[in-house]
């Protein structure tokens, strides 16, 4: 692998497709269309810098733990620890600097956003609700994008953020079924460790129902039209497919379904949201 490929694998760059679509969808609704290349570019940079900082911090925090987990034991070979620390610090500073060029509110709230996304990496050491903190970390993105465009809070991005929180917590519970034995050995906490696999999967299903409620509430509060509502019809079927795969407890299938299904959900959301708003 090239150095760039190793770095992108280290930060799981492909998983950007989870949070970014909801930020962009929120951006389009807030701007009632395309906000212009300047704001679009600044939002995109904030997403890249914040996620890079968050992922490198997560790798640093879990450095020794990951070495003992069969699923993650090769991560530390992709990037040195000192390079990871340097990348984390630089990315965090660049995130704050980029927020400065958006507006005053985004700049003042940028350290709060960083604190939220960094805090998640520590939560599995003391709470079984770690998956919900990951959901909270990703739910910051639609609110931040809205603030970047309007400079003020509103209900649509908050309702969307609630949906994102439930969606992420649900699919991370499914993902965590792969690590339940390793987590128990390490004394780490998660909803899967707390409830056991069958009950945790039922909770994930309930959270994904709440996620659908969040998307509905967002559509109503943002006054979205037929394109949005028709475009969301595949989402429950995609989530049902993911849960059907999760029940097999086949690690390879879970990984495939986890990435592909949730990537499609996110991309579908941003496409139908943008199409609906731009069609007016």
Q: Considering only CA atoms, which of 201, 189, 52 is closest in space to residue 130? A: 189
pTM to 2 decimals?
A: 0.94
Residue 232, φ and ψ in degrees, nearest 5:
-85, -10
Say how many domains are in the chain: 1
Per-residue pLDDT of the chain (280 residues; tens, 9 = 90+): 678 788 778 877 777 778 899 999 999 999 999 999 999 999 999 999 999 999 999 999 999 888 888 777 777 778 899 999 999 999 999 999 999 999 999 999 999 999 999 999 999 999 999 999 999 999 999 999 999 999 999 999 999 999 999 999 999 999 899 889 999 999 999 999 999 999 999 999 999 999 999 999 999 999 999 999 999 999 999 999 999 998 887 877 887 777 889 999 999 999 999 999 988 7
Q: In CATH, what number is assigned to the domain containing residue 127?
A: 1.10.357.140
Full domain range(s) for residue 125: 3-278
Contacts of range 88-97, beta carbons closer than 8 Å, 24 or more positions apart:
88/52, 88/53, 88/56, 88/57, 88/60, 91/49, 91/50, 91/52, 91/53, 91/56, 92/49, 92/53, 94/45, 94/49, 95/46, 95/49, 95/50, 95/53
């Amino acid at each position: 692998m090239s150095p760039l490929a190793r770095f992108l694998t280290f930060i799981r760059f492909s998983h950007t497709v989870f949070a970014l679509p909801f930020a962009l969808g929120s951006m389009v609704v807030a701007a009632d269309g395309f906000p212009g290349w300047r704001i679009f570019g600044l939002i995109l940079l904030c997403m890249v810098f914040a996620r890079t900082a968050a992922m490198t911090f997560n790798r640093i925090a879990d450095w020794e733990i990951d070495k003992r987990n069969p699923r993650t034991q090769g991560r530390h070979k992709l990037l040195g620890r000192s390079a990871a620390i340097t990348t984390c610090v630089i990315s965090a500073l660049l995130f704050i600097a980029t927020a400065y060029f958006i507006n005053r509110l985004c700049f003042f709230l940028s350290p709060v956003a960083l604190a939220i996304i960094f805090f998640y990496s520590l939560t599995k050491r003391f709470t079984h609700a770690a998956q919900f903190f990951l959901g909270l970390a990703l739910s910051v993105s639609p609110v931040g994008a809205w603030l970047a465009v309007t400079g003020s809070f509103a209900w649509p991005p908050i309702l969307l953020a609630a949906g994102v929180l439930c969606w992420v917590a649900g699919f991370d519970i499914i993902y965590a079924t792969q690590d339940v034995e390793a987590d128990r050995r390490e004394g780490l906490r998660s909803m899967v460790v707390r409830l056991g696999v069958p009950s945790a999967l039922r909770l994930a299903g309930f959270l994904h129902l709440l996620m659908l409620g969040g998307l509905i509430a967002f559509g109503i509060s943002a006054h979205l039209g037929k394109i949005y509502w028709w475009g969301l019809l595949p989402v429950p079927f995609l989530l049902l497919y993911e849960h059907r795969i999760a029940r097999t407890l086949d690690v390879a299938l879970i990984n495939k379904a986890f990435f592909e299904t949730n990537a499609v959900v996110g991309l579908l959301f941003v496409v139908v949201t943008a199409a609906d708003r731009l069609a007016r």
